[in-house]
Structure 1
């Protein structure tokens, strides 16, 4: 365990419980002077003290993890990268703020997001009124999709009440793992009177996988769906029929800003429930640990595809039964991010694109092949990434297919538990240096840099060297 200083969090815990230093020291079985040193960051928090906190207050030791600190630092770095601030905030200052005043840090991040949303709404309104169209078009308004994505990010991609409810049904009904589709169809018909009917290739609109007729109690599915996909669609319908009140309750508490976001959130939560039913938490985590997180073997075991397994692996964060905290992302060839989920501290930039040195983009040149990469972020944290392409066909010969690259990543400290670390040099010193995106990346000498970082003033010498890739072809006047 590396040295971790959590004095402010410990002091806040004591004040919330209305305890004196002497009372807390007695509960933890340590001396008053030692507690005082801990609260003033003169001594690091140790594992015995963490265990004593857990025993005395029932706290999850994960709440004192430095993962939350790294996540907040990433959010603060983006929030304070605005050139309007007039100065660059050093990483050391961000770390100090995240460590000693996390509540203030979170407030700054929240204020920045509200400011950005207000700016975007103002630009959109100006565009509609015909005012300053160039300025309005420079900033795209936030979308309901992004709002829902941020909701799952804020919850570490884990919704415990849905996860546990889905697993309880799967275990109680003894649904056959990996072959759930017939059993789920029978469950829908016996419990809800819903009959499943497969289309004849022309009854459903192109690209539609499921259509439910509530009046006739008929659920139509595409014949193109594989058994695992059928099971997922059945489970999604079960979520909507049996747990719609719970879905709406979660949505109401989240405070989404419009009906479109609420509608998308309802679909996202129903899909989350379906994943938890087809891949029940306890069984899936046990098999993942057994097979060292081999994605393809897990896909065969549970009868689902590569992307579905990656998605589920990024949600295994049940207290006292956590899997490896993964980050999951899906991109297309143009770099558009259509899915991103993070169970821990890795931060996906909202300012500009992602890093071209990331192996998720190399996957398109090696279709169907699993690629591995050891990547180091500017804050010196190192991650193991796994990437592979997935394709979704829509029809027969000549019909266009959708191809994406999906990537799964985790902190390098978990690498030994993963089969993909075999034969890989996991020394952080040899890791590929990547960033969150050019606009917020601190690596000025990157050969793939597309434009300067936000707020970085250039002098004439820099424009000839570090930033030559996007300098104009015109000669610079002396």
Structure 2
């Protein structure tokens, strides 16, 4: 079977423009016609293997820069699945994963779905839960959002229209939203000091026509909640249309999808696309400057940056992760090929975990994944105190990352040696799935490789790996 054709016009255009070259100049260097290059950038022609080699050299990017993002994610996920000792996969078999994904992507997807069902069943039996086979609705919705590159254009444009048509202003947005809820929907907002103690952020009483907001919440959080309610009230039909396009496995998954889309609308309303996209480019993606300009939180700015993938007006493709101090991933989305571990904890070398030792400080890191892709990562703790001594505030941090080829477009590249191949920290998807067998930070052996306990040597971990 022929290899899958690679269409990467947008990536090609971005790399060319970063070097200040027009189409005619790059075409001359490649010894191809400008019209052919134009067709490549418009995804009317695929990139050939010889051309990929020359482009990677001339544009100073790795060959993986042009790889299909979904294929790269499938490879990591399939490798992690096959690493289960049940499959007894040999190194040779693991080396064939890329070929399987290219030649039979639908088979690879079906295999991973089957394996997820198997692991769910195993967990069910281990916990003696009689409720039946769980479908993990959170994972289902998360994967759906990531499959859409974390961008829902119809909701994004609807939110932007509300902001512009009502002449909202970032500096006065909280009062604008309060007024809009009152005038357009007859709903009055009020503070409730008991909500946080009950584990709630907001409560809508349709009978009383009141929206109660947690009294001790930050202003930017209150803005987000009001925007979320506006999305539910005004664009429920649009949200339902998006949900009906997908065959979710349960009512729980459909309900979570509706909440996710209402949250997406809220983020798009408080940070309208064109205004925010333009401001982000002018600020070179300086998160703190964007916070001041839009009155939003650090987390809200980071998450919105990861959604800027409007056709014809894209921003930098970012991935976004929110985690707690124990390593639990609370939220994640990606417009990049960056993949996350399905099982086990994430990599301890990721700078998002160092952020907990430096609360409130922005940490910048160059990190390279096992597929030889280098990322620029920006991490910081987020959140506020609980409002009282005994409230036990939650310790969480976020990380925003992009491929190194986009780093010069950001303020965070200042002072970094982007061309030093030894500079990036070697991170992985988690110890069980990571291929780095010599990592001194490894906590458990990788799945799929046997242990050699008969040697007289002691390495960085108390075992040797067979093969």
Choose from 52, 56, 59 the match for 2:39.
Answer: 52
Choose from 417, 424, 436 the match for 2:409.
Answer: 417
CA distance in 2, matches of 1:306, 1:407: 10
Superposition deviation, residue 405 in structure 1: 1.4
Alignment of 1:288-303 (within 5 A): 288-303=280-295
What RMSD in Å do the two structures reach over aligned CA positions? 3.0
* Cα distance change of structure 1 residues 47 and 10 upon mapping to structure 2, 3 Å threshold: farther
Residue number in structure 2 paired with 1:22? none
Residue number in structure 2 paired with 1:88? 90
Choose from 205, 217, 224 the match for 1:225.
Answer: 217
SS in 2 for 1:78: helix
Deviations along 1:275-326, one digit per CA (max 9) or x if unpaired, are: 0010011111111111111111111111011111111111111111111111
- Do the aligned partners of 1:275 and 1:312 also contact (CA within 8 Å) in 2? yes
Residue number in structure 2 paired with 1:336? 328
- Do the aligned partners of 1:166 and 1:273 also contact (CA within 8 Å) in 2? yes
Residue number in structure 2 paired with 1:197? 190
Superposition deviation, residue 464 in structure 1: 4.8
- Do the aligned partners of 2:351 and 2:364 also contact (CA within 8 Å) in 1? yes
TM-score by length of structure 2 reads 0.82
Where in structure 2 are there 5+ consecutive unaligned residues? 8-29, 47-65
Residue number in structure 1 paired with 2:25? none
Alignment of 1:80-159 (within 5 A): 80-88=82-90, 93-98=96-101, 100-101=102-103, 104-121=104-121, 123-124=123-124, 127-128=127-128, 142-159=135-152
CA distance in 2, matches of 1:218, 1:463: 72
Where in structure 1 are there 5+ consecutive unaligned residues? 1-5, 12-42, 131-135, 472-478
CA distance in 1, matches of 2:456, 2:399: 34
The reply to whether residue 279 of structure 1 matches residue 282 of structure 2 is no
* Cα distance change of structure 1 residues 114 and 93 upon mapping to structure 2, 3 Å threshold: closer
- Do the aligned partners of 1:358 and 1:434 also contact (CA within 8 Å) in 2? yes
Choose from 185, 188, 208 the match for 1:216.
Answer: 208
Superposition deviation, residue 72 in structure 1: 3.0
The reply to whether residue 187 of structure 1 matches residue 183 of structure 2 is no
* Cα distance change of structure 1 residues 349 and 178 upon mapping to structure 2, 3 Å threshold: farther
SS in 2 for 1:239: helix
Alignment of 1:337-352 (within 5 A): 337-352=329-344
CA distance in 2, matches of 1:317, 1:119: 33
TM-score by length of structure 1 reads 0.80
CA distance in 1, matches of 2:252, 2:301: 28
The reply to whether residue 9 of structure 1 matches residue 9 of structure 2 is no
Superposition deviation, residue 398 in structure 1: 3.9
Superposition deviation, residue 352 in structure 1: 1.0
Choose from 154, 160, 167 the match for 2:160.
Answer: 167
Superposition deviation, residue 146 in structure 1: 2.0
The reply to whether residue 459 of structure 1 matches residue 452 of structure 2 is yes
* Cα distance change of structure 1 residues 58 and 460 upon mapping to structure 2, 3 Å threshold: closer
SS in 2 for 1:388: strand
Residue number in structure 2 paired with 1:449? 442
Aligned length: 420
Choose from 227, 240, 243 the match for 1:251.
Answer: 243
Superposition deviation, residue 149 in structure 1: 1.4
